[in-house]
């Protein structure tokens, strides 16, 4: 049973926590029931809409978001503390995603096969799932909802979007911009907590989730019990491997940004730095690169490290540093709450811990990373693979053959050579191995595998 919350869903500025950014009334059982009923009607109408008309609507939605890009950028900065250095890029990425999937509506929707006789036609056609629930996090408040919603809509589905409460303002603004270009109730935003997400999941034809490993496993189990497909992205414990022949300074600069940019609040952030062979000044270069990252008000030009999302997140980083000390590690940078307003925490580097130490095995969603020494390339690969998650690994080297040898043995869904772990291309498949992901890949043409199902049709005169 769904219980209406007594308090509204409220988001606050993580740099100025006393400032409320957005509020919305939490849904109850009546609102969920109405949304499901309206969504199913909208899905039937949308599925019958010709693909060129869907493409035009998606293009108009992209134009609407583009027209409000400056407003959305400011909202992203205030609501989730994303630095101005990154927030405009996320908004532009969202616009590109909408335009990309506007064209995907015109892709072939099936294929033909040789029929058993000369008179018949045998074909496989793709059909939208129907009503899909999207459960999204706060750290990419516009890009992640749209990299799920855009393909869902493009391929003919209706969408129920359950955003994180910390990003409710951005979600409602996106709905305000996009919904007028779509049939009524085709895209609905559902404010609420996990009970709302569970209710929507049970009433849907598919569910796509991004968030913590624990919550993602719960979603996957619930979807299995409901008999619907699930797609879950659940984070990573990502490694950057610095091989002995790598450009140490270049690697240190890139890794510092990948580990600490946006206060480390990305599922693709670097949390382990594996150095092969002699250190040769790399640790010193990394400490200097981290210290050089501008910190403070995310709304100011040039700032790369702002606050974490809330007090609990800051406490997690500080406690992780304390735990590392208790296990024999050395905190060589940061380790304490940062100076300034809000939930600032100093970018933190730890050395001297073994690969199996707690900090190297669990995801701490904040600006903290550990440096681990490896004896050779094989040892580095074993350390990188020695965690339960497998989202992304970076490899730094000047030797192509060596790079390919390491790449072939890594257990991650994304591998980047001489590039930071934190980069993602919206038109390429996205997802991890092991506990990082469940279900088909997201983004690009891979998204069609999840948001449609295949019907095999035989026609005999």
Residues tagged active-site: 233, 267
226 CA to centre of own chain: 24
Alpha-helical (H) ranges within 264-368 are 282-291, 311-326, 358-361
> Cα(first)–Cα(last) distance of the chain, in Å?
51
Interacting residues of 68 by C-beta distance below 8 A, sequence separation 6+: 173, 177
Interacting residues of 418 by C-beta distance below 8 A, sequence separation 6+: 250, 394, 395, 396, 397
Sign of CA dihedral 89, 92, 94, 96: negative
Residue 390: how many other CB atoms lie within 10 Å: 23
323 exposure class (CB count in 10 Å sphere: 0-12, 13-18, 19+): middle
Rounded CA gap, 264 and 213, in Å? Answer: 17
Rounded CA gap, 405 and 241, in Å? Answer: 13
Phi and psi torsions of 107, nearest 5°:
-65, 160
427 exposure class (CB count in 10 Å sphere: 0-12, 13-18, 19+): middle
Interacting residues of 417 by C-beta distance below 8 A, sequence separation 6+: 394, 395, 396, 397, 403, 407
Question: b or e along 254-272 (b: 16 or more beta carbons within 10 Å of the residue's beta carbon)?
Answer: bbbbbbbbbbbbbbbbbbb
Interacting residues of 46 by C-beta distance below 8 A, sequence separation 6+: 54, 128, 153, 156, 157, 158, 182, 183, 186
Residue 348: how many other CB atoms lie within 10 Å: 28
Residue 34: how many other CB atoms lie within 10 Å: 13
Question: b or e along 177-209 (b: 16 or more beta carbons within 10 Å of the residue's beta carbon)?
Answer: bbbebbbebbbbbbbbeebbbbbbbbbbbbbbb
Phi and psi torsions of 330, nearest 5°:
-115, 125
Look at the block and give the residue holding tokens 């950014």: 21
What percentage of the chain's residues is helix, strand, coil (to nearest 5)?
40, 20, 35
Q: What's the DSSP call for residue 356?
A: T
Q: Is residue 94 within 8 Å of residue 142, measured between CB atoms?
A: yes
């Amino acid at each position: 049973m769904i219980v209406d919350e007594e308090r509204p869903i409220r988001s606050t500025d993580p740099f100025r926590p006393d400032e409320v950014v957005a509020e919305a009334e939490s849904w109850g059982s009546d609102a969920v029931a109405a949304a499901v009923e309206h969504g199913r009607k909208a899905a039937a109408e949308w599925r019958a809409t010709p693909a060129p008309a869907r493409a035009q609507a998606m293009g108009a939605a992209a134009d609407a978001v583009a027209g409000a890009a400056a407003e959305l950028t400011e909202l992203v900065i205030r609501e989730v503390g994303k630095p101005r250095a990154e927030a405009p890029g996320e908004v532009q990425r969202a616009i590109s995603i909408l335009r990309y999937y506007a064209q995907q509506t015109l892709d072939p929707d099936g294929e033909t096969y040789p029929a058993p006789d000369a008179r018949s036609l045998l074909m496989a056609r793709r059909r939208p799932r129907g009503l899909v629930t999207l459960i999204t996090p706060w750290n990419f408040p516009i890009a992640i909802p749209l990299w799920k919603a855009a393909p869902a809509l493009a391929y003919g589905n209706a969408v129920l979007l359950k955003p994180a409460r910390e990003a409710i303002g951005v979600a409602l603004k996106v709905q305000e911009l996009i919904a007028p270009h779509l049939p009524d109730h085709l895209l609905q935003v559902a404010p609420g907590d996990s009970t709302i997400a569970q209710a929507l999941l049970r009433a849907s034809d598919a569910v796509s989730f991004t968030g913590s490993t624990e919550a993602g496993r719960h979603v996957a189990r619930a979807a299995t019990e409901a008999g619907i497909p699930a797609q879950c992205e659940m984070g990573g414990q990502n490694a950057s491997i610095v091989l002995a022949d790598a450009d140490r300074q270049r690697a240190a600069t890139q890794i510092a940004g990948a580990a600490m940019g946006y206060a480390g609040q990305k599922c693709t952030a670097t949390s382990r730095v594996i150095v092969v062979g002699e250190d040769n000044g790399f640790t010193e270069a990394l400490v200097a690169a981290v210290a050089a990252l501008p910190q403070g008000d995310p709304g100011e030009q040039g700032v790369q490290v702002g606050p974490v999302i809330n007090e609990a997140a800051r406490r997690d980083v500080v406690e992780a540093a304390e735990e590392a000390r208790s296990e024999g590690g050395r905190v060589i940078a940061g380790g304490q709450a940062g100076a300034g307003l809000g939930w600032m925490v100093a970018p933190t580097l730890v050395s001297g811990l073994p690969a199996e130490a707690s900090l190297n095995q669990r995801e701490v969603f904040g600006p903290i990373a550990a440096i681990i020494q490896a004896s050779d390339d094989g040892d580095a690969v074993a350390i990188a693979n020695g965690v339960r998650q497998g989202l992304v690994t970076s490899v730094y080297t000047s030797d192509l053959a060596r790079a390919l040898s390491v790449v072939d043995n890594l257990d991650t869904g994304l591998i980047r050579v001489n590039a930071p772990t934190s980069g993602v291309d919206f038109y390429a498949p996205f997802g991890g191995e092991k506990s990082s992901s469940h279900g088909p890949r997201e983004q690009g043409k891979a998204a069609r595998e999840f948001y449609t199902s295949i019907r095999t049709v035989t026609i005999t005169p």
